Chains A and B, each alone.
Chain A
Amino acid sequence: MWIRFRISGGFAGLQRACTIDTAGMNREEGQEWVDLVRASGLLSLPARERIGHAPPKAVDLRVIAITIQDESGSHQFGFDDLTLPSEAACLVERLQQHAVCDPLDT
């Protein structure tokens, strides 16, 4: 499983990202990520629920972009602080711990 995660904006305006590739991990560590993704419920979401934006009057929200690739294909998700499904909070928290600053591509 391969995961690309990016979180940007918000009051702080920071740009942080990470890439997780279970191929380079030991079995236990890799399984942990697979379990986290399963628990997030993201891959079970219908297409229309994979992108969520809060109403425009909500401001300073961070934008969260996740791409997950597994044997079923490549899956893309886009949320913000208010639309991230609560089941995915654990996964996003773990991804944030791995994320490092990612300069703007201009």
Chain B
Amino acid sequence: MSLSCGCHFIPPHVIEEMAKNGHDGAQASLEISRAHRLRRDERTVNLVRQLHPDGQPLAAAAGATGTAQRKVYDCGHGTALHVPTRLVRSEGGAVVVDPIVNQVYDFAGNTRDYLKTLGRNSIDNNGMDLVLNVHYGTNFMNAFWDGDEMVFGDGDNQVFTSFGKSADVVAHELFHGVTQFTANLVYKGQPGALNEHFSDVFGSVVQQIIKKQNAGNADWLIGDEIMGPTLRGEALRSMKYPGTAYDNNLMGKDPQPAHMDQYYAGPNDNYGVHINSGIMNRVFYLVAMDIGTTAAAGIWFETLGKLWSTAKFNDAVAVLVRVARNQVAQGKVPLGSPQSVRAALKSVGLPR
């Protein structure tokens, strides 16, 4: 099914330029045109929006709004996704025997609840269902977002255990969906590293909410809960000290830089999307330590909605500072937040 193009009074490239220059109305338009573009190949297209001449959305009406239902499928070590006969827990369903099913169900619910506090209705802001596939493949050592749903492997039980048993992994993957429907950051180089960074940030934020932690007593580690029995104590990334998460014979050494001087420019990992994200992760950690995780997350979430697909670190710097200033004016974050953001960015060598 295809989606009608709606009424775009301003050519998309002009809207994108306006958004880069800080026109919030243009950013709203940009978000809507993204929604149109992204939804074109969706299985259940139900979003039709129109633009008001000032760029603000008139309505998100026509077509049913979803109800953000969780649906957990058991892949049974195969690779087929959302097989109808393998739906093992759906919204409101009873707890099942398999702990991984219950964990991804709960963590997805925590993330959906958190999004609600930010004023967002699920991944697409239109109540999109949260589809989670567990026990994918054999000894599958990964988790990913396929563009429509989340997928979790069980690991090899040596390096990694099940990827679904960690809240920061589930929230990380779910937020890749949110990014797809907002900034839609290209998954390569600096835009890709920003894409990874936002997923790590909100994975960490959701984890802190679940564990009733704050910036001061959180571990700021990503993936520590999925390490295999021989690697307990290691993690995949440290937002506090990027580059220190692991150093062992099985995994090698954490390659994340904590400063632009160590920026990885090579071709691996889509030009370092999981590597250079460490630089921006450190910025978020520092700001959260200064003004609190909740306030920092509010600045970062609004920034995600104002960035565009080719945005680089310097673009994120400009938008983060502008959003922090606006949020101070609105009384949403403490006085001094823009200065805190600038200082954190400066300490990692940004802007450059």
Using known A-B contacts A56-B186, A60-B176, A104-B266, determine if residue A10 contacts B144 with beta carbons closer than 8 Å: yes
What chain B residues lie within 8 Å of A27 (beta carbons)? none
A54 touches B146 (CB 8 A): yes
Verify if B126 is at the interface (C-beta below 8 Å from A). Answer: no
State the majority secondary structure of interface residues on B. Answer: loop
Most-contacted residue by chain B among A15, A59, A101, A102 (CB, 10 A)? A59
Which of A33-41, A43-51, A68-76, A81-89 sits within the interface?
Answer: A81-89
* CA of A105 to CA of B252, assembled, Å: 13
B249 touches A12 (CB 8 A): no
Q: How far is the CB of B261 from chain A (nearest CB, A)?
A: 13
A11 touches B172 (CB 8 A): yes
Verify if B55 is at the interface (C-beta below 8 Å from A). Answer: no
Q: Closest residue of chain B to A57, judged by CB? A: B147
Give the number of residues in A that approach B within 8 Å (Cβ atoms): 32
B141 touches A12 (CB 8 A): yes
* CA of A55 to CA of B186, assembled, Å: 12
Using known A-B contacts A9-B274, A13-B269, A105-B266, determine if residue A58 contacts B252 with beta carbons closer than 8 Å: no
* CA of A100 to CA of B250, assembled, Å: 7
State the majority secondary structure of interface residues on A. Answer: loop
Query: Among A57, A82, A104, which residue has its beta carbon within 8 angstroms of that of B275?
Result: A104
What chain B residues lie within 8 Å of A82 (beta carbons)? 144, 146
B186 touches A93 (CB 8 A): no
Q: How far is the CB of A68 from chain B (nearest CB, A)?
A: 21
Most-contacted residue by chain B among A11, A55, A93 (CB, 10 A)? A11
Verify if A62 is at the interface (C-beta below 8 Å from B). Answer: yes
Q: How far is the CB of A39 from chain B (nearest CB, A)?
A: 15
A11 touches B236 (CB 8 A): yes
B275 touches A86 (CB 8 A): no
Q: A11-B163, A61-B142 are in contact. List 5 more A-B contacts (CB 8 A).
A: A9-B270, A11-B173, A60-B142, A82-B146, A105-B266
11 residue pairs bridging A and B, Cβ less than 8 Å apart: A9-B273, A11-B173, A16-B252, A54-B146, A57-B146, A57-B180, A58-B147, A59-B145, A62-B142, A82-B144, A104-B266
